[in-house]
Amino acid sequence: MEFAENHEPAGFAPGTLRVRVQAATERALHRGALQPIPTDFLHLPDGGIRFLVRIVRHLARKPARPHPDAVASEARPNPFLPYEPAMYVADASPTHVCLLNKFNVVAQHLLIVTRGFEDQQTPLTRLDFEALWTCLAEYEGLGFYNSGGVAGASQSHKHLQLVPLPLDPSGLALPIAPLIDAAEISGDAGRVESLPFPHAIAALDQNDTAAGPQRAAAQTWNVYRRLLESIGVTWPAASERFAEPYNLLMTRRWMLAVPRVRECFASISCNAMAFAGAWLVRNEQELELLQQRGPLAALRHVTETIPDTRV
């Protein structure tokens, strides 16, 4: 994808972000600042999706996420203000900065963070989407957003995330991609009937997304609002937070929104990556539970109002 030159440039030359991510990764690893979480992985087929399940070898280094209601967001430690210099990759825009995910499971996992504090549960803005598109124009990736602790957000400072594709080490770009590719989705909010959990999805206009981050952001912000309305997430008043948690996933071709009613399936925390078909479990017990019940049942459990009493 090539973007037109009608937008304010990012803090990196076009075509160089991937190189900058790699250089920052090597530098941060050498300094001991980047602390990847080592995992093994396996595939767990369910409902036509070849789910990727990663099993953590050592989780002790990753700090526990504070409960979202424990203390006010301003009083909690904020790793992004100021951010750790070793995590810096590039300026995404005048309003956003690209940082490495310090405790990454997927290599070259980027965080796209607002420079000043904005709450993670406030609406995404056109500037948020513009920063995401500036990065997504550089290489194929999955952009995602966890709105609130129930949706799997670990920090209250607004940050979008971007992981490069293919997501699966065996080469499959995205586990849910075959089902989406086989569905007939349009620019209107719709559903993929083979995804048996609440959601709304829309195709993105390729003419708009190729026309530069500003035009792409304007289109996707409008799509975002339509999708949230479709899944029952009420747009808040000015300066207010969303009352309902949700996950958002986006590629260059489509956007998917999922409502959330609970964070965990049993002890397994679930964020937007699970809806892309990628799970993270901490031990063999969690893996066994996911194998017994199935990933799709787990996704229904965290999205449907009526809880599964077997969990």
3-state secondary structure 22-36: HHHHHHHHHHCCCCC
Predicted TM-score of the model (pTM): 0.91
The answer to whether 183 touches 193, Cβ cutoff 8 Å, is: yes
pLDDT tens string, the chain, 311 residues long: the values are 443 333 345 789 999 999 999 999 999 999 999 999 999 999 999 999 999 999 998 654 444 444 433 333 345 689 999 999 999 999 999 999 999 999 999 999 999 999 999 999 999 999 999 999 999 999 999 999 999 999 999 999 999 999 999 998 887 889 999 999 999 899 999 999 999 999 999 999 988 888 899 999 999 999 999 999 999 999 999 989 999 999 999 999 999 999 999 999 999 999 999 999 999 999 999 999 999 999 999 999 999 987 666 77
What is the residue extent of each domain of the chain? 17-59+79-303
Question: Tokens standing for 80?
Answer: 């992004």
Question: Tokens standing for 146?
Answer: 């966890």
The answer to whether 180 touches 254, Cβ cutoff 8 Å, is: yes
The answer to whether 9 touches 93, Cβ cutoff 8 Å, is: no
The answer to whether 151 touches 233, Cβ cutoff 8 Å, is: no
Q: Spell out a b/e string for 4-24, using b for 16 or more CB atoms within 10 Å of the CB, else e.
A: eeebeebbbeeeebeebbeeb
Protein fold of 17-59+79-303: HIT family, subunit A (3.30.428)
